[in-house]
Every structure is written in structure tokens, then in C-alpha cells.
Amino acid sequence: MAIFVVGDLHLSLGGDKPMDVFEGWEGYLPKLEANWRTLISPQDTVILAGDTSWAMKLEDTKTDFAFIQNLPGQKWLLKGNHDYWWTTARKMERYLTENGFDTMHILHNNACMVGDYALCGTRGWPFDDTNAQDAKIMAREAGRLRMSLQAGGSAQKIAFLHYPPVYPGGCAQPLVDILHEFGVQQCYYGHLHGKSIRGAIQREVDGIRYKLVSADGLH
């Protein structure tokens, strides 16, 4: 029973936004599926760290979700900045149940318990958006992260975010403070693509090890 994480699949199997048009993404879906089936067993858990589907509405995710459903493992989905289909947890869980997507679950204000670990997370927010509206969003995301970590109880916690919580020269301080408060030692995030991957913080900072897990960041 192992834990895996990957972000930013940007699936568009039922739409017209194929990622193959971008450099480094050519033929990525067959590669993703082949590696997934080689590495992951039905007993494993996979965190999908946001930007899973380009669909605009929940009902338009069906083809993308069917692709995910048919891959091994139990999958837990975070919200990303391009997951426009995202709605309330209750509506999404009902949608998954009604369509037989029984290997898929929503990670939102809750925690996924795997053995001795609590897998926790939220979308996050860019640290350099400093107007009043963005401050409200950051505070809301900090509250969601706290709620998720609290749901993990006394278990050892691993955190997952979509936006990077740390950047060269700065950080999303409200989120980082909460990670420290709950004793998180590992934090995985996505969102960064292309040239921005080179600037990703992928090392230990003040006792927390950060790792980029966007699909192209992981090749």
C-alpha cells in the first residue's frame, strides 16, 4: 500500500484543449497511463494535486473521469486554478457515486487516512497577490488547510497544495505557518510548468521538504 502524487494532468478527452500542442507534452497521455499501470496497484492511493480536467462544467468531466477511474488505485482530487468544473464537495461526491466513479474522492476540508498517515490539502493561493480580495482568498485557503490538517487527528500529516507555498524570495506565509503549526514535514505542490519549473523550490526549507509534482515537472 503506497502513496503517489501527481498534479496538472489537464485532461481534455471530452473537449478540445489537448496539452500535446505544448513543448514537452507530446504524447503524454500514453506515457502517463503506461507509467501509472507499471507503478501503481489497486491498493495504492494517488493524490491528484489540481488542474485535473479542462472541463468547464462538472457534467462535462465524464470522459476525463472515466480515464482516471479505469487506472489502478484510489484517487483523491484537489482543486486547481483551472478546475472550473469544481463545485461543492457534496455535489461532486454525488456525481462520482451516480456515475460509478468509485475509485475517485474529493480532498476538500477533510483528510484521507492511509495507514499511519493523514493526507491533507487545499488549493492554496499565490503569495504575491496582495490586494484585499486576494487576502480574503488566502485567508479562506488557510482555513481550509487548517480544517484538513485538523481532520487528520494525531496521524503523521503530509500536505498537498496546488499553488506552490514557497517561491524563490518569498512564501505564502499564512499557509506555511499552518504547515509548521501542525508539524508537517513533507509538502507537495503543482501548478508550475515550462520554464517556471526551473525556479521551483524542491528542497527542505525550515524543516519542511517541498517537492513539485506537476505532470511535466515529473516528466
pLDDT digits (tens, 9 = 90+) for 169-188: 889 999 999 999 999 999 99
pLDDT at 24 over 80: no
Q: Which of 19-23, 29-33, 151-155 has the lowest mean pLDDT?
A: 19-23
Rounded mean pLDDT, 47-65: 97
pLDDT at 135 over 90: no
What pLDDT is stored for residue 18 in this prediction?
72
Residue 2 grid cell: 503506497
What proportions of the chain, in percent to the nearest 5, are helix, strand and coil?
A: 35, 25, 45
Q: How many CB atoms lie within 10 A of CB 154?
A: 6
What pLDDT is stored for residue 14 in this prediction?
80
Rounded mean pLDDT, 6-34: 85
* Domain range list for the chain: 3-211
Query: Which uninterrupted H or E stretch holds 63?
Result: helix 62-69
For the whole model, what pTM was predicted? 0.95
**DSSP secondary structure string, 95-126?**
HHHHTT-TTEEE-SSSEEEETTEEEEEE----
151 close to 109: Cβ distance less than 8 angstroms: yes
User: What is the second-level CATH architecture of the domain 3-211?
Assistant: 4-Layer Sandwich (3.60)
